[in-house]
Amino acid sequence: MTASSHPSWGRYPASRPAQVQRPGARPSVLPATDTPLLAYGNGRSYGDSCLNNDGTLLDMGSLDRFIAFDPATGVIECEAGVLLADILELVVPQGWFLPVTPGTQFVSVGGAIANDVHGKNHHVAGTFGCHVRELELLRSDGSTLVCTPDDNPEWFAATVGGLGLTGLLTRATIALKRIEGPYMDVDTLRFSNLDEFFALSAASDRDYEYTVAWVDCSARGANLGRGWFMRANHKPALGQQPDPRKRGGPTFPFVTPVSMINPLTLRPLNTLYFRRKFKARSRDTQHYQPYFYPLDGIKHWNRAYGPNGFLQYQCVVPHADARTAVAELLERIAAAGAGSFLSVLKVFGDVQSPGLMSFPRPGVTLALDFPNRGRETFELLEALDDVVRAAGGAVYPAKDARMSAAAFSEYFPNLERFRGFVDPAFSSNFWRRVTSTTTSPS
């Protein structure tokens, strides 16, 4: 049902583009088609923002060339299909690192900009878009817009976080960050409940560049919100530095007949992970790859969710009601026996996201996977939306396959302004869904 050469990462919904075009060289004009266009990077968006059923997908995978890199300043220019993994492989040995990285290195630069992705350093570095110096946009009226925070700034703001709808992003320039070596100093602490999480986060954000927590989404009552808090900094140079790791690793070989994450395995997996260490605190040195990208170690891990795929849910709730709202979200998830093994909590910082439609904003973000079990899953996510809407929060389009048009317009107050920048030749499953009914923000 989801068999397609260009699926989304959640493998739901099914991908059925009318056609796929793969430009071999950086185009200077858009291809002429009579169906809506959408760029497809590396297919790591979870839901339907990278799908374009009955439309034309532009597979950007072969636009993977670097254009320029200055090892003295760390400014890199590349085509939109270059993967963050490609950048790391090139720049880490030269003492540079991505200014912001999401939890997988297998996203394209174009995708990172279109979703204005964030990482564990959001509280100090903001989003990926904060570090984009320049981008080039091809529009269906034949124009080429070179956008920076100062030139065509309104187009820059619409394109960063613009879900690929403002035109075709062909190349970008990114300012990297200096590092001394590929290793990380990692400090891992157990916490027993949400209050401890908030206390740890507040105590860590000043001295640690990277903070994130894994949370046991099956725990309830006194244990609600227990988990592990991970805080880290880049390690000062070691004497000698081994070569960066190869990208190889095991591949999850096939789509399992049923989801491996299900009500039977959910609690044992979470409890085991919570109990994985005796000591309540440990410090160690890790290579950046397992630290930032633990899931990249198993290729196609999404196949473990079975033939119906999975939905990811990531929301942010403002600081004011964060404690209450996160508790209610976790309680509803645990009560439903839903969720998975991969649940993440993080406090966002106050750095302003540059995009009109950027998801990150001050508050607390919760992200977790749900095996797709049909109606009960969708009803639960709708109930979670009620909590997020009441708290004045937002849900992340890059992870979404089901939020309502009404919820979307509440989450993104700049929506009406953004519409003016959407290229009439571009669309996506996501965009058609969240604009299918006309709802004005209240």
Partner 1 sequence: MRKILIVGATSTIAEQTARRFAASGDALFLTGRNEARLTAIADDLKVRGAATVATQVMDADDLAAHAPMIDAAEAALGGLDTVLVAYGTLPDQQACAADPAAAVAAWHTNAVSVVALLTDIANRFERQGHGTIAAISSVAGDRGRASNYVYGSAKAGLNAFMDGLRHRLFKAGVQVVTIRPGMVDTPMTADFDKGPLFASPEKVGGDIHRAIEKGTAVCYTPGFWRLIMTIITALPRAIFHRTGL
* Closer residue to partner 1, CB minimum distance, 31 or 294: 31
| Candidate ranges 19-27, 96-104, 183-191, 394-402; the one touching partner 1 (CB under 8 A) | 19-27
* Closer residue to partner 1, CB minimum distance, 76 or 387: 76
Report the DSSP beta bridge partners of residue 145. Answer: 137
* Closer residue to partner 1, CB minimum distance, 248 or 374: 248
DSSP state of 92: G
* Closer residue to partner 1, CB minimum distance, 86 or 410: 86
* Closer residue to partner 1, CB minimum distance, 57 or 76: 76
Q: How many residues bind partner 1 (CB under 8 A)?
A: 14
Nearest distance from C-beta of residue 97 to partner 1, angstroms:
17
Residue pair 135/89 in contact (Cβ under 8 Å)? The answer is no
25 binds partner 1 (CB under 8 A): yes
Structure-token match 């033939």, residue found: 307
Q: Could you tell me the CA-to-CA distances from 186 to 29, 208, 435 in Å, in that order?
A: 47, 10, 43
Q: Given candidates 90, 145, 269, 298, which one binds partner 1 under the rule CB under 8 A?
A: 90
User: Residue 206 burial by CB count (10 A; 0-12/13-18/19+): exposed, middle or buried?
Assistant: exposed
Within residues 55-74, the interface with partner 1 by CB under 8 A covers 62, 65-69
Give, for 170, the enclosing helix (H) or strand (E).
strand 168-175
* Closer residue to partner 1, CB minimum distance, 90 or 406: 90
Q: How far apart are CA 13 and CA 46, in angstroms?
A: 10
Nearest distance from C-beta of residue 188 to partner 1, angstroms:
35
Q: Could you tell me the CA-to-CA distances from 157 to 149, 195, 343 in Å, in that order?
A: 8, 36, 30
Q: Given candidates 1, 22, 242, 382, which one binds partner 1 under the rule CB under 8 A?
A: 22
Q: Could you tell me the CA-to-CA distances from 233 to 279, 291, 371, 373 in Å, in that order?
A: 21, 11, 33, 39
The 10 Å Cβ neighbour count of residue 248 is 8
* Closer residue to partner 1, CB minimum distance, 105 or 204: 105
Alpha helices in 54-146 (DSSP H): 84-91, 109-114, 122-125
Q: Given candidates 26, 323, 373, 432, which one binds partner 1 under the rule CB under 8 A?
A: 26
Nearest distance from C-beta of residue 28 to partner 1, angstroms:
8
Binding site for partner 1 (CB under 8 A): 5, 22, 24-26, 62, 65-69, 76, 79, 90
